[in-house]
Structure 1
Amino acid sequence: MTAAAVALLALALALAGPATARAQKVVTIGSNPPGSVFHAVASGLVKLAGETGVARATVQPYAGSSTFLPLLESGELDFGVNTALDAALSYRGPTFTVGGRNPFPHAPSMRLLMLGPRLTAAPLVRKDSPIRTMRDVRGKRVTGEYPASVSTWYTIFGSLQSAGLSWSDVQVVPVPGLPEGIDALVQRRADVSLFALNGAKVREADAAVGVRHLSLDCSPEGAGRVRAALPGYFVHPVKRGEAAAVVEDICAVAFHIYFTAGKGVTDDLAEALMRAMWDQGGRLASVHPIFKDWAHDRLPSLDVAVPYHPGAVRFLRSRGLWTADMERIQQQLLAAPRR
């Protein structure tokens, strides 16, 4: 090889790396604000995408998922971290309601990439409160409205439903968001609020005045009422001491975090992220403890409220995980009314 040829080859190799980097798509993942569990999950996915070479990614925080759902539909945002219920209400559209309402923007093009870790929440009362069961909440002051965190309104609704109650059975104390709900409880402006287990705000309130989580109705009937009220939600048992402010065995309300894909996500990108999560997802426990709950069996699921992305389907088929029952559920969701 001549000196000139060697020089040309060296130049080509030098240019190949930067060109590849420039060509690699930068993807954005929508989440709740920094400090939230959803932001931690999004940060973990950004880390995974970068370290596995799938894509350069960045977290784009918003006040709540209702803010960024329209951007998934328009294709301006690539992925989102959502609750199961947010995704279901947004996918199905305004004619599909839960608790008599659906304030979420319609996003019929949204698709599910995978189920993430489980998020668990439970009602919260002051430690000296006479309220011992959800049935005792009737007539009490309960934080509500939550315009900045609509999913919390639904989670409290489901908690009430577990005991056969609804919003009309309590005195609603309007609050804008989750932190303000706990503040109202600490300041005795409310008798009951709700927060995710092991939340920093719960620990803060417990240190300040003493609080405890209240159990949902653990009976099969109570669990059935939660599932009927909130698509994608379920009752999960929590042992005493397993989380802050859990002073006795309780049943909490839980759902799997959804990692959703927007209109512009290609099949290749979706499949590559699924493969990265399958191969390397176990490493994410170092990013946030919630990832300790994630497992391979979360990738294929029959209990979904939004159809899978075609790239996710392709990956699951390649692993022999796409069953006839999953195809049946997929077709039902694709055919569901969306308006």
Structure 2
Amino acid sequence: MSQFSRRDLFALMGGAALVPMLGSAPSQAATRYIVIGTGGTGGVFYPYGGGLAKLLSEKLPEMQATAEVTGGSVDNVKLLAKGDAEIGFSTVDSAFDGFKGTDAYQDVGPQKVATLAVLYPSVFHTVASKSSGIKTIADIKGKRASVGSSGSSTESIADRVMAAAGLDPMKDVTRDNLGVAESVGALKDGKIDVFFWIGGVPTPAVKDLASTNAADITFINTGDLAGGLAEKYPGVYLPSSLKKGVYEGLAEDLPVLGVDNVLLVPEALDGALVKEILAAIFDNLAEVAQIHPVAKRLTLEAAAAKSAVPHHPAAVEFYKSRGVTAG
């Protein structure tokens, strides 16, 4: 949806002119509207974003926040840079690529975004049908794989992981661009052999798959590739694990690739609004923690941790006022 059509729709829904969220002083409109870019409905960004939208709408005066389904991190970074959203979820690797204008952002160049808060680490899931015979990333050669939806960080991470295993991600696999919920359905139906997903744990769609089809699927170890990727992309990737029992059928900890998730805002977002948003979140952490299990990890110290994409100046000021140094 374009900026005009989205904003026009919200104006019609709210019956009031919108307050500009970027740049100059707000108008006299009664209601303020903000958009939160999330991800697909089967992942963690969507329920987390929906919970934050509800919280901000309830806690901030004359505020209506809306969580929007998107393709994921890449979409969100572009929405923020264009002024089509005020807050967006992203993995830090995709945020950094956007900040620099590389890889998935080569066509649009550097994206003017800033970190609002570091949220929680995601882990990289590679889930194969047992009938496919896939036991390692190298085994995916010649198979049909869902590499994540277009406009998601899953796709870029999947390509990097396959390349690290010696595969050509564009030639050695048959690619499908499916979100995690669609990937789960396709794997159940035998339409794909394997899917990739980067997200919080537990991811609802993957949990559902493991609960109903544990005997038919295999979680693939990517820990042996994590060290090389962390070295190639310093400050972005890290070794992680899927813990024993987090999904049915996982009998022991599984080494995998990890990456932090961040809340982003446009660089030009009004500083007063940035501080309002952060105050609403951190003055109500008990409510935030009820949104999703990964939301329990949010603290002032974690949110202010160093990010590959610098924090918004107003966020730095906010954390300092709460006794924490950002970055």
Please tell me the TM-score bracket, short chain as reference: 0.7 to 0.9
What residue number does 2:218 align with? 212
Asked whether the equivalents of residues 148 and 195 of structure 2 are also in contact (C-alpha less than 8 Å), the reply is: no
Alignment of 1:161-310 (within 5 A): 164-167=165-168, 171-178=172-179, 179-195=181-197, 196=199, 197-206=201-210, 207-208=212-213, 210-218=216-224, 222-230=225-233, 232-302=236-306, 304-310=307-313
1:200, distance to aligned residue in structure 2 (A): 3.6
* Residue 25 (structure 1) aligned to one of 21, 32, 43: 32
Percent identity of paired positions between Structure 1 and Structure 2: 20
Q: Using the alignment, how far apart are the partners of 2:77 and 2:323 within structure 1?
A: 31
The code of the aligned residue for 1:185 comes to L
2:50 pairs with 1:74: no
* Residue 51 (structure 2) aligned to one of 44, 53, 58: 44
Q: Using the alignment, how far apart are the partners of 2:269 and 2:61 within structure 1?
A: 13
1:205, distance to aligned residue in structure 2 (A): 3.7
Asked whether the equivalents of residues 54 and 269 of structure 1 are also in contact (C-alpha less than 8 Å), the reply is: no
What residue number does 1:125 align with? 128
What residue number does 1:111 align with? 114
Say if 1:228 and 1:102 are closer, same or farther in 2 by CA, change over 3 A.
farther
Say if 1:289 and 1:320 are closer, same or farther in 2 by CA, change over 3 A.
closer
Q: Using the alignment, how far apart are the partners of 2:268 and 2:276 within structure 1?
A: 15
1:143-162 per-residue CA deviation (whole Å, 9 max, x = no partner) reads 15645244112222344366
Q: Greater Rg, structure 1 or structure 2? A: 1
Asked whether the equivalents of residues 140 and 191 of structure 1 are also in contact (C-alpha less than 8 Å), the reply is: no
1:259, distance to aligned residue in structure 2 (A): 0.8
Say if 1:317 and 1:64 are closer, same or farther in 2 by CA, change over 3 A.
same
Q: Using the alignment, how far apart are the partners of 1:104 and 1:232 within structure 2?
A: 22
Helix, strand or coil: the match of 2:284? helix
2:60 pairs with 1:53: yes
Q: Using the alignment, how far apart are the partners of 2:203 and 2:324 within structure 1?
A: 34
1:266, distance to aligned residue in structure 2 (A): 1.0
1:157-189 per-residue CA deviation (whole Å, 9 max, x = no partner) reads 344366x43435983122121344444433445
Unaligned runs of 5+ in 2: 1-27
Range 107-116 or range 245-254, more displaced: 245-254
The code of the aligned residue for 2:176 comes to V
1:35-71 per-residue CA deviation (whole Å, 9 max, x = no partner) reads 4311112112223323432661322424314444333
1:69-109 per-residue CA deviation (whole Å, 9 max, x = no partner) reads 3332233321111221221122111xx33xxx645744532
**Alpha-carbon RMSD:** 3.1
Asked whether the equivalents of residues 74 and 263 of structure 1 are also in contact (C-alpha less than 8 Å), the reply is: no
Unaligned runs of 5+ in 1: 1-20, 327-339
Helix, strand or coil: the match of 1:322? coil
**Structure 2 length as normaliser, TM-score?**
0.76
